[in-house]
Amino acid sequence: MVASWYTNLKLACPFHYKGICTIYEQRPLACREHFVKGSARACRGGRGTAEVVQMPVQMVDALAQLASELEGTGVEAVMMPLVLVWYEENPRRGRWTWPAAMMAQRFVEIVRKMASKNSTAVVTQT
């Protein structure tokens, strides 16, 4: 619903230039999580078509679940334009840390569980 609402605002991405992403290597997670097929004109609010390819697991959902477990809170999402406001209102939460290996292991477990629920996709172990 949030993605549809944001799309309906018809805001052009400020990082598109001549049909390409100028920050591709440094693009934010919100952009990385979506696989889009279609024309670049649609991303700019033009007459092209763009469609988000549905994936068995949305990384934002897996990360939200991980954060929920680590913080002992409910699952929540913060829209990119509001992240600085969220941080100002939650400075203590913004400074919490956890062991990286434990977080990575739990994240992989969450992704596997979500993938097995959502499709027949195979999540391989590396």
Amino acid at 12: A
- The predicted pLDDT at position 125 comes to 54
- The span from the CA of 91 to the CA of 36, in Å, is 34
- The predicted pLDDT at position 45 comes to 56
Percent of the chain with pLDDT over 90: 24
- The predicted pLDDT at position 121 comes to 47
Q: Which residues of the chain have pLDDT under 50?
A: 121
Cβ burial, residue 17 (10 Å; 0-12/13-18/19+): exposed
Supply the DSSP symbol for 56.
S
- The predicted pLDDT at position 111 comes to 93
Dihedral (CA of 63, 64, 69, 72) sign: positive
Threshold 0.75, pTM exceeds: no
- The predicted pLDDT at position 65 comes to 93
